Amino acid sequence: MGDASRVSRNHSDTFRTAVEQSVAAGKAEVLSASPPVYLLHDVLSATEVADLRGVVARRRDLWGASHPLVCFQHDAFTGHPGLTHAFDWMRGRPGAGGRGCFAQAASRATYAHVPWSESLFVYRGQEALFDGISRRVQEMSGLHDTHAYSWQALTYEAGRDGGYADHTDCEHAADLLGRGERMATLLVYLTDDFDGGETEFPKLGLKVKPPVGSALLFYNFGPGWGGRACSAEAAHRSNRVTRGSKVVLQRWHSYQEQPFLAGRPILSQRGRRPFQPVVSCDYVSGVRTNVSCRWYNSDVPWTTA
Ligand SMILES: O=C(O)CCC(=O)C(=O)O
Ligand SMILES: [Fe+2]
């Protein structure tokens, strides 16, 4: 079976058509033509924002009961001879790099000193409220629910947040038609009473802080509409929050239908307790000057034994 037979609809075209209709109807505006970046107005009502924040708070409490396991994805950390004793090894060998997590004791001793932002996954079917928003997004953007990843509630809190460094959202293959490749990104803003925390596109000279209830939507590929290569121009970051907290719902959308339409089971992970989150530090997009750490509630494949 070739690639083409798995494509149930052309998602760069349905996206383009629907979002251009939203612009024509005054419901959205163009922030950048190439790569396409849009601001969608009034995606959520004030009541919906409050209700969604309630769901996020409840789920954060569930996962916040345990301190996180502190993990590193790159060998500058895991290969450091002075740190060998602290690791519970996941991939690679002590002192020889690879991906690794600190053992419980070292995680407990260090997690409070690591700056991080938070990504809480909410899977399809878990929360009726989120599923309702998915239908609205589909109407406004043409991005179908079956082509979407799970929702992620991103939280950046002043004092703890270190920002999230420059990156593109493309996956490793960086080919639009690749399975699970992140064609387009949606960010729906649940707070705006904070300082810093802008979503910035340095290559486009664009720095945005959308009002509560509105959304940013951008296409990660190029050149131009329907382009199949990852667009370096679509690089973006989240600036560090210096007051208050930024809460955003994020969802990626692929050209191909998603292979995982529901939640994935939490695999048993060496050294990880049930409902224990992970803080994973990474060279974002593989760039060594871009170190950012993120807290995850989800299954994190690289911690699998
Ligand atoms: O929160 C933001 O403004 C951007 C987040 C982001 O780019 C990401 O998580 O990939
Ligand atoms: Fe991103």
Q: Is the CB of 250 under 6 A from ligand 1?
A: yes
Residue type, 257: E
Name which residue leads in pLDDT, 251 or 8. Answer: 251
Q: Which ligand is nearest to the CA of 187?
A: 1
**Cα distance between residue 186 and residue 44, in whole Å:** 13
Q: Which two tokens stand for residue 287?
A: 């760039």
Whether residue 93 lies inside any domain: the answer is: no
Average pLDDT in the chain: 88
- With pLDDT > 70 as the criterion, what percentage of the chain qualifies? 90
Task: Output DSSP code: residue 115.
Answer: -
Whether residue 226 lies inside any domain: the answer is: yes
Name which residue leads in pLDDT, 302 or 38. Answer: 38
Q: Which ligand is nearest to the CA of 117?
A: 1
**Cα distance between residue 189 and residue 23, in whole Å:** 19
Whether residue 48 lies inside any domain: the answer is: yes
Instruction: Give the pLDDT confidence of 284-298 residue by residue, as tens digits.
Output: 877 788 889 999 987
262-266, 273-277, 294-298 — which is least confidently predicted?
Answer: 262-266
The range of the structural domain enclosing residue 162 comes to 3-65+126-273
Whether residue 19 lies inside any domain: the answer is: yes
Please give the distance, rounded to the nearest whole angstrom, from the Cα atom of residue 296 to the centre of ligand 1: 14
Question: How far, rounded to the nearest angstrom, does the alpha carbon of residue 135 sit from its chain's CA centroid?
Answer: 20
Please give the distance, rounded to the nearest whole angstrom, from the Cα atom of residue 87 to the centre of ligand 2: 29
CATH at residue 185: 2.60.120.620
- Beta strand ranges found along the chain (DSSP E): 28-32, 37-40, 69-72, 87-89, 100-102, 117-122, 151-157, 164-167, 184-189, 195-196, 199-201, 206-208, 215-219, 221-222, 229-230, 236-238, 241-243, 245-253, 278-283, 291-296
Buried b (16+ CB within 10 A) or exposed e, 101-133: bbbbebbeeebeeeebbbbbbbbbebbeebeeb
Pocket residue to mutate for ligand 1, from 118, 152, 187, most atoms within 8 A of Cβ: 187
Q: Is the CB of 169 under 6 A from ligand 1?
A: yes
Ligand 1 atom index nearest CA of 216: 3
Residue pair 56/153 in contact (Cβ under 8 Å)? The answer is yes
Name which residue leads in pLDDT, 255 or 173. Answer: 255
Q: What is the pLDDT of residue 17?
A: 92
Closest protein CA for atom 5 of ligand 1: 238
Instruction: Give the pLDDT confidence of 63-110 residue by residue, as tens digits.
Output: 988 999 998 887 777 888 888 888 887 777 767 777 888 999 999 999
Q: Is the CB of 164 under 6 A from ligand 1?
A: yes
Q: What is the pLDDT of residue 107?
A: 94
Q: Which two tokens stand for residue 247?
A: 């809460």
Whether residue 213 lies inside any domain: the answer is: yes
Pocket residue to mutate for ligand 1, from 250, 280, 285, most atoms within 8 A of Cβ: 250
pLDDT at 26 over 80: yes
Q: Which ligand is nearest to the CA of 206?
A: 1
Whether residue 210 lies inside any domain: the answer is: yes
pLDDT at 303 over 60: no
Place of tokens 């399975």: 179
Residue pair 76/288 in contact (Cβ under 8 Å)? The answer is yes
Q: Which ligand is nearest to the CA of 200?
A: 1
The ipTM of this complex is 0.99
Total structural domains within the chain: 1
Q: What is the pLDDT of residue 269?
A: 64
Q: Is the CB of 238 under 6 A from ligand 1?
A: yes
**Within a 10 A sphere around the Cβ of 1, how many other Cβ atoms?**
5
Ligand 1 atom index nearest CA of 152: 9
Whether residue 285 lies inside any domain: the answer is: no
pLDDT at 248 over 70: yes
Instruction: Give the pLDDT confidence of 51-64 residue by residue, as tens digits.
Output: 999 999 999 998 98
Ligand 1 atom index nearest CA of 169: 10
Whether residue 54 lies inside any domain: the answer is: yes
pLDDT at 146 over 60: yes
Please give the distance, rounded to the nearest whole angstrom, from the Cα atom of residue 85 to the centre of ligand 2: 33
Strands 215-219 and 37-40: antiparallel
